[in-house]
């Protein structure tokens, strides 16, 4: 068995798929995994693949042309999952996709298609929840929000907040991955990686948001004591989402 490995980024994954497919070792004789790799398997040949812009562009172009743009969107979102086997699942889906074309997205009876559908669904569900639970605080005239998602949902969240707050300076920071979406006023957003010092400085900066206390008072005031239902609240708003929510701080 030959195992192709790469960094856990979408671009690297596309290059890894290109290299694995071009190896002509046979689909049953290869696996694809993102790094870091845990326990190494015996009798396996591990091959690291670096990002190649031309290979990445070729794979993306082939997916959109030979399968569909919808399939490309599903693959992109699946690549943002935290599942360890996501890259191999994407590869197995592409085997069917390049054979059956656009119809593959509806072939949920096939395990490879169903696996990708589940990855896509879980990433979209988490992104949907963070659209509701994400909270901003003002620091030095910049709106900043910290989140710790299981999946890498920053690029999925950014377009909506760009549309909602086009004339604001804001940042959405993924504390787990030390990455951030930065949106300058009236400009397009961009992605950046934060150093440990930058992340700590943003975490410990003094919040000057005048509406924080007002929102907390509003949250407590509208609550009806007789109707409190912690179990239902945990179902609609899981505990791990509340770490950075203003009303629970």
Q: Are strands 170-174 and 142-147 parallel, antiparallel or unpaired?
A: parallel
State which H helix or E strand residue 100 sits in: helix 86-100
Residue from 200, 198, 182 nearest 190 by CA: 182
In the block, which residue shows the tokens 């015996």? 42
pLDDT computed for residue 206 by the predictor: 61
How would you list the strands of the sheet with 2-6, edge to edge? 30-34, 2-6, 45-48
Token digits for 165? 């707050």
CA 169 from centre of chain: 22
77 and 123 in contact (C-beta within 8 Å)? yes
Q: pLDDT value at position 246?
A: 77
What's residue 209's pLDDT? 65
Provide the pLDDT for residue 207. Answer: 64
Taking the C-alpha atoms of 16, 188, 81 and 12 in order, what is their torsion angle to the nearest 10 degrees? 10
Q: Is 51 exposed, middle or buried (0-12, 13-18, 19+ CB in 10 A)?
A: middle
> What local confidence, expressed as pLDDT, does residue 81 receive?
96
Give kind and range of the element (H or E) at residue 66: none
Cβ contact 46:34 at 8 Å:
no
pTM of the model: 0.86
**Which conformational region is residue 140 in: left (phi greater than 0), alpha (psi within -120 to 50 degrees), or beta?**
left
Task: Please list the rounded mean pLDDT of every run of 10 residues in the chain (249 residues).
Answer: 94 96 92 88 90 96 96 96 95 95 94 96 93 85 90 94 93 93 94 89 70 78 82 82 77
């Amino acid at each position: 068995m030959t195992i192709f490995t790469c960094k856990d980024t979408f671009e690297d994954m596309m290059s890894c798929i290109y290299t694995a497919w071009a190896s002509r070792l046979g689909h049953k004789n290869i696996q694809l995994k993102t790094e870091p790799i845990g326990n190494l398997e015996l009798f396996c040949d591990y091959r690291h693949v670096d990002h190649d812009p031309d290979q990445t562009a070729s794979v993306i172009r082939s997916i959109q042309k030979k399968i569909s743009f919808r399939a490309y969107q599903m693959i992109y979102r699946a690549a943002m999952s935290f599942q360890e086997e996501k890259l191999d699942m994407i590869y197995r889906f592409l085997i069917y996709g390049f054979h059956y074309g656009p119809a593959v997205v509806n072939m949920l009876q096939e395990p490879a298609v169903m696996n990708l559908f589940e990855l896509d669904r879980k990433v979209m569900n988490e992104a949907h929840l963070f659209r509701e639970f994400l909270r901003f605080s003002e620091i030095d005239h910049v709106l900043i929000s910290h989140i710790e998602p299981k999946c890498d949902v920053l690029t999925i969240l950014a377009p909506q907040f760009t549309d909602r707050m086009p004339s604001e300076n804001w940042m959405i920071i993924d504390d787990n991955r030390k990455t951030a979406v930065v949106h300058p006023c009236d400009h397009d957003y961009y992605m950046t990686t934060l150093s440990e010092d930058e992340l700590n400085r943003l975490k410990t900066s003094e919040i000057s948001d005048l509406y924080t206390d007002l929102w907390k008072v509003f949250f407590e005031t509208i609550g009806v004591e007789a109707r409190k239902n912690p179990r239902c609240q945990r179902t609609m708003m899981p505990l791990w989402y509340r770490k950075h929510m203003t009303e629970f701080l």
